[in-house]
Amino acid sequence: MRQRFLLLIVAFVAAIALNQTAFAATVELSLDESISLALKNNYDIKYANSSREKYYWAFKEAQKNKGLSVSYTHSDKRYNTPPTYYLPTYTWTTDFDNNFTLSLPIYSGGELEDKVEQANLDLKVADLDIDLAKQQLRETVITDYFTVLEYREEVKVDQETVNNYVDHLNLVNQKFALGLVAKTDILSSQVDLAKAQDSLIKAQNNYNNAIATLNNDLGLPHDTEITLKDDFTRQIYPLTLEECTKKALEQRPEMAQYAAKRASAQYDVRIAKSGYLPTVDLTAEQDWYDTHLVGTKNSNWLVKLTTSLNVFDSGVTNAKVQQAKHNVDMVSAKESQERNSILLDVRQYYLSMNEAEKRIGTNQVSVNQAEENLMIEKAKYQVGVATNLDLLDAVLSLDSAKKDYIQAVYDYNTYRAKLDEAIGLAVK
């Protein structure tokens, strides 16, 4: 009895090990939950956050370069002195030295101050990179989410089409058994059924691949089973094209980034011009040396104020200034190009979204008409008024109308997501 019980336990454990996927819990996600999960797990966001920390400490470094620095040096030396008139033999000497040096930049021609401002601008750009990465990730997740919904709906449509062809083939077989239709009706019906089954297989594979893509962007294992909570519908967009354009120029991270980059380039000009100005540095030293370790005797100190001025450098400073000025022009040109690109994106996505919205309405009418037409053709075929081809065409028309409707809803939601990104809609 005990042995049988142990065998049952072993078999149960083995079954669990071999069928882990069967016990895996399905993850249910709304669109908002999907976005939140992606923001938590996505590597691009983690990279942007780390990059921001890097620029934060670069800013701190630039600030500290203006401050006081203290260094300590300890040296141990042993050397010999060649013979001289007074000392006819080699003389060996041992020195131990301890030196503390204090340095403070008094005036740098504005170079250090401008580098601090530059580092602060770089930090601002890094902060905006995080916002940009979040907005791009949101658009990607929304597209992935609606791609899954799209293929889920296509699987339903393809399954309905297969069912319609199966029902029709059964009816044709019945009529053929009664001698009411020719063998060609069976063959053509079988061919159309095979095509519909082929489309269903492709749609199921597309759905599985879309799930894997969504899992990848959410930071989940690719084989995670996901159930999507949101319906495959559309919501009316609340903004006009003019409002979208205005918001894009105000909210897009790229516009703020280019403003910061232009300001940084202007600081480069000022930094280059600081080469024409004098620099003033304060240095204080305290030194002890001795012939015995650790060298704490013979105290000496020094305080020094050093002023330096570049009198002539063969035009090197002027060349740096000219380079910096042209860099300002380059950044300004890129800024104008980015502005035009943003405005074009907003217009194109808005118009494409509106086009998809109109197609939703017309395709919904087509679906209703195709459904009614299929009912009529079925009734007509049953009484022998319609041909086999008429009914097969009706099934195909309904399939096409439903897929056109699905495509229109998908296009509307994905263009809406692109438009949200184009206007710089903040990610909460």
Q: Which two tokens stand for residue 183?
A: 């063998």
Q: Are 42 and 138 in contact (CB under 8 A)?
A: no
pLDDT of residue 17: 41
pLDDT of residue 8: 45
Q: For residue 177, what pLDDT band results from cuts at 50, 70 and 90?
A: confident
Q: Tally helices (H) and strands (E) across the chain.
A: 10, 6
CA distances 86 to 83, 92, 179, 291, 305, Å, are: 8, 15, 139, 21, 40
Is residue 287 classed exposed, middle or buried when 0-12, 13-18 and 19+ CB atoms within 10 A define those classes? middle
Phi and psi at residue 296, to the nearest 5°: -115, 10
In this predicted structure, the answer to whether residue 179 has a pLDDT above a threshold of 70 is: yes
Domain residue limits, the chain: 2-67+110-276+316-422
Cα 165 to Cα 191: distance, rounded to the nearest angstrom = 10
How does pLDDT run across 76-132, given as a tens digit for each residue?
Answer: 998 888 887 777 788 888 999 999 999 999 999 999 999 999 999 999 999 999 999
- Kindly state the average pLDDT of the residues 367-388: 91
Pick the CATH number of 2-67+110-276+316-422 from 3.40.50.720, 3.40.50.1980, 1.10.1060.10, 1.20.1600.10: 1.20.1600.10
Q: For residue 168, what pLDDT band results from cuts at 50, 70 and 90?
A: confident
Query: What is the SS3 assignment for 238?
Result: coil
- Kindly state the average pLDDT of the residues 66-75: 94
pLDDT of residue 318: 95
Q: Which two tokens stand for residue 4?
A: 């049988």
How does pLDDT run across 331-373, given as a tens digit for each residue?
Answer: 999 999 999 999 999 999 999 999 999 999 999 999 999 999 9
- The better pLDDT of the pair 264, 294 is held by 264
pTM of the model: 0.83
pLDDT of residue 287: 93
Query: What is the SS3 assignment for 426?
Result: coil
Percent share of the chain, pLDDT over 90: 77
Query: What is the SS3 assignment for 226?
Result: strand
At which residue do the structure tokens 């679906």 appear? 367
The one-character DSSP state at 86 is: S
Q: Mean pLDDT score of the chain, rounded to an integer?
A: 90
CA distances 196 to 85, 269, 399, Å, are: 112, 68, 10
Q: Which two tokens stand for residue 233?
A: 């519908």
How does pLDDT run across 312-329, given as a tens digit for each residue?
Answer: 999 999 999 999 999 999
CA geometry: angle at 40 spanning 37 and 41, to 5°? 90
At which residue do the structure tokens 């669990």 appear? 16
Q: For residue 22, what pLDDT band results from cuts at 50, 70 and 90?
A: very low
